[in-house]
């Protein structure tokens, strides 16, 4: 195991897959000469050359369409969105072409494309650059949606996404690029898509959270441990397909659930997870499913307002106490 940042783990995954398979190439804005807006593609142009690390104009619909066409002819493109907010400009290509081509061609065309880049709350990037975009994609049949929370996940899941024959939406987080963790250096190490991870074992309540919210949930769990509340944390990692079995197994153990997401709550990820739990494990619940979500407002630029919009450790603690029927003094 090596200790590396989330950014370095993504870079290693790209480098390994490009060495392993010469059909893999990267295309996007500033991926080459500038080495990536967030330096995920650092060193790749020098190693692989401009035919496989392709700088583009600012034209998301155009270069995403180029990627989809390349995938249909047998290549395996990785399309970088400088930020996933810009994927809005390529929604027609992603939703109407990439997601549906296999179905509409009767299985004649696969579209093995990965569309990756950062999304969700960032560091004061305001309303147009801080949206949690996964909701736009996870209910589109034909797309897989991945949100890796740790450096190990970043490497293992990106490698699986590149090898997958389906279009994969791979949303990273600007706030996680510098976090460090252990990452296997084995070039054959992959994490299968559709497998959740139990990040923390607990007995009293299950918290389902991913990306930055998983780290807030960890902080909440450590605080509540002092009061004797044992929190289990499940990270879905892949949102589509969702590993509901791991989530349900945890719910049947703890009998209480809090779902945390940075995006606005209405029709969000938490709504879907709550519905799955209600349908499959209603009789196992000792309390209603709680959701902690972002405030349904545009992301403000001001740091204090940005924090107010995004779920905090304190809000997660309050939700956990509610499902455990405890007030702040630890009494029932």
**Active-site residue, selected from the candidate residues 8, 17, 35, 129:** 129
- Report which of 137, 171, 154, 126 is spatially closest to residue 298, judged by C-alpha positions: 126
- Cα-Cα-Cα-Cα dihedral of 197, 205, 223, 220, to 10°? 60
Does 332 participate in catalysis according to the annotation?
no
- Report which of 141, 76, 87 is spatially closest to residue 110, judged by C-alpha positions: 76
Asked whether the beta carbons of 189 and 134 are under 8 A apart, the reply is no
| Count of other CB atoms within 10 angstroms of residue 304 | 7
Asked whether the beta carbons of 144 and 166 are under 8 A apart, the reply is yes
Asked whether the beta carbons of 142 and 166 are under 8 A apart, the reply is yes
Does 123 participate in catalysis according to the annotation?
no
Phi, psi torsion values for 286, nearest 5 degrees? -105, 0
Q: Beta strands of 177-226 (E only): which ranges?
A: 180-183, 197-200, 205-208
**Active-site residue, selected from the candidate residues 8, 16, 35, 60:** 60
Asked whether the beta carbons of 234 and 198 are under 8 A apart, the reply is yes
Distance CA 324, CA 202 (A): 13
Distance CA 190, CA 13 (A): 9
Q: How far apart are the first and last CA of the chain?
A: 44
Contacts of 97 (CB under 8 A, 6+ apart): 65, 68, 111
Looking at the annotation, which residues are catalytic?
60, 129
């Amino acid at each position: 195991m090596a200790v590396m940042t989330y950014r370095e783990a993504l870079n290693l995954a790209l480098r390994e897959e490009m060495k392993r398979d010469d059909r893999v190439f990267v295309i996007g804005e500033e991926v080459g000469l500038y080495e990536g807006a967030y330096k995920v593609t650092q060193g790749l142009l020098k190693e692989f050359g401009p035919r496989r690390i392709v700088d583009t104009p600012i034209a998301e619909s155009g270069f995403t369409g180029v990627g989809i066409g390349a995938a249909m002819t047998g290549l395996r493109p990785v399309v970088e969105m400088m930020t996933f907010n810009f994927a809005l400009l390529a929604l027609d290509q992603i939703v109407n072409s990439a997601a549906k081509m296999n179905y509409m061609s009767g299985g004649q065309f696969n579209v093995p494309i990965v569309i990756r880049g950062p999304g969700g709350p960032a560091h004061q990037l305001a309303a147009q650059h801080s949206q949690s975009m996964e909701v736009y994609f996870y209910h589109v049949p034909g797309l897989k949606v991945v949100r890796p929370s740790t450096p190990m996940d970043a490497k293992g899941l990106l490698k699986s996404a590149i090898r997958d024959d389906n279009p994969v939406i791979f949303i990273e987080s600007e706030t996680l690029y510098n976090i460090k963790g252990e990452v296997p250096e084995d070039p054959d190490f992959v994490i299968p898509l559709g497998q959740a991870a139990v990040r923390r074992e607990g007995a009293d309540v299950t918290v389902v959270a991913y990306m930055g919210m998983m780290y807030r949930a960890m902080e909440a769990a450590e605080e509540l441990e002092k009061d004797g509340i044992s929190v289990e944390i499940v990270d879905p990692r892949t949102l589509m397909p969702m590993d509901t079995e791991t989530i349900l197994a945890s719910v049947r153990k703890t009998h209480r659930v809090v779902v945390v997401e940075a995006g606005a709550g209405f029709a969000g990820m938490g709504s879907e997870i709550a519905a799955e739990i209600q349908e499959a494990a209603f009789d196992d619940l000792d309390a209603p499913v709680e959701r902690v979500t972002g405030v349904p407002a545009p992301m403000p630029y001001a740091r204090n307002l940005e924090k107010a919009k995004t779920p905090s450790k304190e809000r997660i603690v309050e939700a956990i106490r509610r499902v455990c029927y405890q007030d702040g003094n630890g009494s029932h």
